[in-house]
Structure 1
């Protein structure tokens, strides 16, 4: 479907009680081109309807109303169920859940033959640009050491972060062999430093997020754009501009 002044993209938020889920719920309610039609969390909801949005437990997914796209920021064990529902409903799937297993990545690839799928470790435009810079730097600095240092809040479970691994993938495309270091402290939203070093000199490419709303804005924007796309596997850069 397409979005215009009279038709809004219907979004299901999966992982609605998490940090990102709460931001998606809050910011999604403010968009003129989208409407949140369902909120899903792992446990039973304390309230069935909040601000006009029905809430469901993950075990009740099939009771969710019709939607055009699901945005998933949950845990790896929760991804399979919501992806299956999107396939059943013919809805698009946007996910920022990290720590997925190889089999789950294969499931995303297979699902993209039937529905639009976008998985990303980071939905900020700045990180999308950073990836391109990292690949270019790696290509023109052969033999330099490449280290990726990431920092996040104490509640983040996976390490290295999905964004760090994605940046490492860009470095590998340029010919580098990245090493990783992780820090979990306080309420750090997300910091990533890609360092290239050799004898006598060093280059640092840094992205710092000071507010997780940048990720929520990006995911909502991507969801609205993806809802009207053909089946396929998309990247943030394909839908963000």
Structure 2
């Protein structure tokens, strides 16, 4: 994965014809130090064989393919914002081809995360439920707030996304909960409340509540509420486009260029440890 500073980062994009795929391809095109090297999509995609830049009227010279080996042949790194099952198939192909990965896919089980960690022994991987630089700075703010507000404050995490999102709560919301719980020396699994209905009784002290909104074309909104006596603190992040995810992904690609293996997240990329 080590490249000279003047050599473009050769990037393949998974789910190349989806909304996020298009945003990533546009970001790669606009970056002086990046080059589109592969475009992957499902075997039943009607765009197979077409130029990956056709949607933008751009002749990229890269065709959309379902052949993983062919799509990764010229790439140094794959950016993947698809589904867990697809990402794991891409993971196996990248491990074989020695291609790094930037994974923004959410909804992984613990067993699937273990597969990613195992592959990271052979290839460099950035795994993060949200690649946005702003979101990850927000995570750092939550860590600081959680330590200072460890007692006397009830914590609620409210997230909103578009109607097409298939997992809930969002991976970003879950990560926020994990960051807060870890900062307070606890486990999210012991504190999380994912739904409330009917006669629930009083709020359990120390719980971290989640609320989910799905509708329209909301890109992504997350608000963490620390509610105390006589005051409340809200830390929020709102995305108005997927451009922030794409730019963060390119920063992750650049970070991996000097790595040969290892599992990293955006805190590593942004030096927020």
Q: TM-score, normalised by structure 1?
A: 0.93
1:17-53 CA-partner distances (Å, limit 9, x unpaired): 2211110011111211111111111233425141211
Shift of the alpha carbon at 1:114? 1.3
Out of 126, 129, 137, the residue aligned to residue 137 of structure 2 is: 129
1:156 aligned partner: 165
Instruction: Name the counterpart of 1:54.
Output: 63
Alignment size in residue pairs: 238
Structure 2, unaligned runs of 5 or more: 52-58, 185-205
Say yes or no: does 1:89 pair with 2:90.
no
Indicate the larger mover: 36-45 or 91-100: 36-45
What's the secondary structure of 1:29's corresponding residue? helix
Q: Which residue number in structure 1 is paired with residue 197 of structure 2?
A: none
| Residue of structure 1 in register with 2:214 after alignment | 184
The residue number in structure 1 matching 2:235 is 205
Alignment of structure 1 residues 225-240 onto 2, 5 Å: 225-240=255-270
Q: TM-score, normalised by structure 2?
A: 0.83
**How far 1:212 moved relative to its partner?**
0.8
Instruction: Give 1:159 shift.
Output: 0.7
Of 131, 143, 156, the match for 1:147 = 156
Separation in structure 2 between the aligned mates of residue 181 and residue 111 of structure 1, nearest angstrom: 34
1:117 corresponds in structure 2 to 125
Q: Matches of 2:167 and 2:17 in 1, distance apart?
A: 19
2:78 corresponds to 1:77: no
Aligned to 2:9: 9
Match 2:245 to one of 211, 215, 231: 215
Check conservation: 2:157, 2:225, Cα contact below 8 A. Answer: yes
Q: Which residue of 1 is the match for residue 175 of structure 2? A: 166
Residue 33 (structure 1) aligns with: 33
Deviates more, 1:200-209 or 1:170-179: 170-179
Q: In the TM superposition, what whole-angstrom CA distance separates every residue of 1:121-175 from its partner, at most 9, and x where no partner exists? A: 1111111111111122111212411000000111111110000001111110122
Aligned residues: CA RMSD: 1.5
